[in-house]
Amino acid sequence: MEKQIYGYARVSSKEQNERRQLLALAAFFVPEGNIYVDKISGKDFRRPKYNRLIKKLKAGDVLAVQSIDRLGRNYDEIIEQWRFITKEKGADIVILDMPLLDTRQKERDLTGTFISDLVLQILSYVAQTERENIHKRQAEGIAAAKEKGIHFGRKGKPLPKGFEETVLRWRAKEIKLNEALQILGIGHTYFFKHAKHFGKD
C-alpha cells in the first residue's frame, strides 16, 4: 500500500483560527483530505480527530505537525505518543518549525539522533511548563481581582424592593416571618440568606 503523508492541526477552542497551521501543512504538500483538525485543549490526547488519524497511520507514513505544542502540552504524554508513533506504528513525524525533529532522517549518526531526542524532550518540557504557568497566572489574576472586589460568575439578582425595611420590621417584631415573606414574595431560604446583612450591629 502506498505511503501517505498526514497532517495534524489543533487549536484550543472553536473561536481560534487554525489557518496558519493549515497553510504550513499545505506547503509541506499534505493532501487536504489527509489533514485532521481538533478544536480542543492540548492537555491530553483524548481528541476525536487525532485518534482517528492515529488509527490510520501505518509503517512508512509521515505525520506532519506545525509545532510541538500543537501536538500536545503534556510532557509525559508527548514523549509517549512520539514513541508509539515512531516505534510501534513505524511511522515518521515531522515538526515543521523545528527541522531537528524529523524522524525521516534515519541516516543521521548517533550524535544527531541524541540531539534530536534531547530537543524533543526540552521542547515537550517547555510546552508543559508554559501551560502550567498560564494556569498559575490565571489563578493569580483571579485572586488579585477578588481582593479588589471584582466578582466572577453570574451576577445575583437584586433584592426585592423594600427588603431591608421589611427585615428591620421583622427584627423589631412589628411583623411575623410569614408576613415578611408574603410582602417580599420570596421563600424562607432566600430571606434568611440575605437578612443576615441587615439589622445587626
Q: State the catalytic residues.
A: 12
C-alpha cell at 74: 503534556
The beta strand positions in 129-177, using DSSP E, are none
Closest CA relative to residue 93, chosen from 127, 122, 117: 117
Strand, helix or coil for residue 171: helix
The sign one gets for the Cα dihedral 22, 90, 48, 136 is negative
Contact (CB, 8 A) for 57 and 87: no
Contact (CB, 8 A) for 39 and 3: no
